[in-house]
Structure 1
């Protein structure tokens, strides 16, 4: 996997922001817009972000998953007694409820400190970069531009946190693995790639 440079959202210094809630230049932090009713020290992420990466791969088929990650101190609720799979397959009959077997009890949750939080993710097979209905194999010994979107997510990024993108190839935990794409050697041209973050009041491009 490969991390792509992120945008930092520091506590804003004194001075005017972009006019009419516009965007800052590439790589610049954006201050909150007063009209959105949120703290100027935070950034409000809304809708789905867009990825545009220039890549080179040693495989004509290269499934890619992008993870949008909030790097910074936070807390996260974790199930401690039953896994999500157990909860999804658990059954509860009237007899269970009458005899109070505990099948309908709320799962135990603990709050843990974390240093990174995955905000959203999205995937594409690079051979379908031009169409989902037909394949265009990646060129050998050459680069190709691949654009895809992540699932929409509404989140507030605290001041001082850094947003990063992690690229994972053939991510079996999220998509069906392509056995013909094993052993991928992926290169990402950072200077020719960009990420568009849909920040309320004006997008940030980094």
Structure 2
């Protein structure tokens, strides 16, 4: 500092609990920074009493939690009942930051395709409307908020959702009457569009 110069640190924004330890020194420690008061702005003012010049500069401080994580639906995948299309996914998080999600994969015929979708912001829960049957994979990310660069870690979780439509009614085709001496035949059922199909024996002698 030059002769006649004095400095002053002042807080412009953020929680009032922050403490400027040495407000009249060019370099000072600021304590009691927390996520509750984030973001903070501190102003550095340098005044020269000889020249009357005043210089000010604002510094932005953003709190970053030590770790952050995100867990979707308590870590459990979701299987919808028949014709269920609306799925509400609760999110549990730790550390500071913002939540985002994207659908990584799903049926090609879904109106939400193509996959993966773009990242979108989300709060403490997500409600998805999935109208096409099939399996979807949703990725959740908890990351640092704001535009300041940070080396803090990210939280990730992935959730699988199985969407089931009404099964296609089964149709085993026509009855078969075997000629004398025949011991085998071909059964031809109707291929199903929704659900799984299988054959089972209901009566007669089993081998």
TM-score computed with the length of structure 2 as normaliser: 0.29
Which structure has the larger Rg over C-alpha atoms?
A: 2
TM-score computed with the length of structure 1 as normaliser: 0.30
Q: Which has the higher contact order (CA 8 A, sep 6+)?
A: 1
Greater share of residues in helix: 1
